[in-house]
Amino acid sequence: MKTRIGIAGCGHLGKLHTKMHTMLPDISELIGVYDINADAAKAAAEQFGCRAFGKLDDMLPLVDGVVVAVATQGHYEVAKKCLEAGKHVFIEKPITATVAQGEELISLAKEKGLIIQVGQIERYNPAFNQLKNFEIEPKFIEAHRLASFNPRGADVSVVLDLMIHDIDLILSLIKSDVEKIDAAGVAVVTDTTDIANVRIKFKNGAVANLTASRISLKKMRKFRIFQEHKYLSLDLDTGIADIFYLADTDAQVTDGMAVANLDHVNKKIIYSKRDKIEVNALLEENRDFVEAIQGKKEVRVTGEDGLKALKVADKILNEIANQFKGS
């Protein structure tokens, strides 16, 4: 039986999510789209062959789940109404504008036995997915996420717009609580932080350095992991992973080539290049949402995951806000 899906928000992301559900005809039935702007909803409905709703309340009785792709400030209000109506929700990142709002949504979903999935799409990146082939215990992570300015997303800081992707990836890899955050940021072309640099120290000793900018001339999404006997360089933009690791000198290696011998420790350095495995990450996100509603799997990024990332982002924003106090 197909799962009935509605889309809330007909902006750039909302239309992309709508398109994805036209590509899942075996499991998903696209019921319609809603937007506070009736003309936007009508245009999207005509484009994707579904119904336009002028009111969210009119769409909710007809669906099993809703993709919430409205502006960040509206995530809480729209998702709460969906959950109160007994509907599962996929919420684009960040889960909500404030931690308190996220906590309330998660509590409500638990009370009603509903799913919250958060749109941290980099979890589906083919380069990041190469990590499942290795034992990952990071000691140090370095993340750079640079982009040219785009007014879309500029209603929130670069921390919530871009850096939250890397925050989520880091928290999924380092299984330890945050001990300390140092952060600096500057508002350059908007009223919120446009470039930020952050250092996160974890209680297990691991450290992560993150830089995010939406005012750069070139695009970059690099994620580097350093740990004992392994260095993994992930290009999240191209989906390619470069991996270096130690192996015994006489070990048979089938997934790479030796680039150096360390005779004093009877080891050799192996380099393995993992080319991109083609995947439509947004499609797979939406497929997971539908199949989770159908009870076939667990979602990859839960509401709790989204809230965890938001809590760290909130601490970063507080550090940035306080950076010049007392100087």
**In the chain, beta strands by DSSP E:** 3-8, 28-34, 51-53, 65-68, 88-92, 116-119, 140-146, 178-186, 195-202, 207-213, 220-227, 230-235, 240-248, 257-262, 267-274
The per-residue pLDDT for 277 is 86
- What pairing do the DSSP bridges indicate for beta strands 257-262 and 267-274? antiparallel
pLDDT digits (tens, 9 = 90+) for 264-312: 899 999 999 988 889 999 999 999 999 999 999 999 999 999 999 999 9
Handedness of CA 210, 213, 217, 223 (dihedral sign): positive
> Quick check: helix, strand or coil at residue 222?
strand
Burial 263-290 (b: 16+ CB within 10 A, else e): eeeebbbbebebeeeeeebbbebbbbbb
- What pairing do the DSSP bridges indicate for beta strands 140-146 and 116-119? unpaired
The per-residue pLDDT for 153 is 64
Report the alpha-carbon distance of residue 226 to residue 283 in Å, rounded: 31
C-alpha dist (Å) from residue 269 to 133, 227, 244, 257, 262? 18, 14, 7, 8, 8
The per-residue pLDDT for 134 is 87
Phi–psi pair at 301, nearest 5 degrees: -125, 105
pTM, 2 dp: 0.95
**pLDDT surpassing 60 at residue 149:** yes
- Contact yes or no for 180/206 (Cβ under 8 A): no
pLDDT level of residue 31 (50, 70, 90 thresholds): very high
C-alpha dist (Å) from residue 239 to 95, 124, 125, 163, 214? 25, 10, 6, 18, 21
pLDDT digits (tens, 9 = 90+) for 73-93: 999 999 999 999 999 999 999
Q: Determine which helix (DSSP H) or strand (DSSP E) holds 55, and give its type and residue range.
A: none
Report the alpha-carbon distance of residue 310 to residue 324 in Å, rounded: 23
Amino acid at 296: K
Report the alpha-carbon distance of residue 226 to residue 20 in Å, rounded: 36
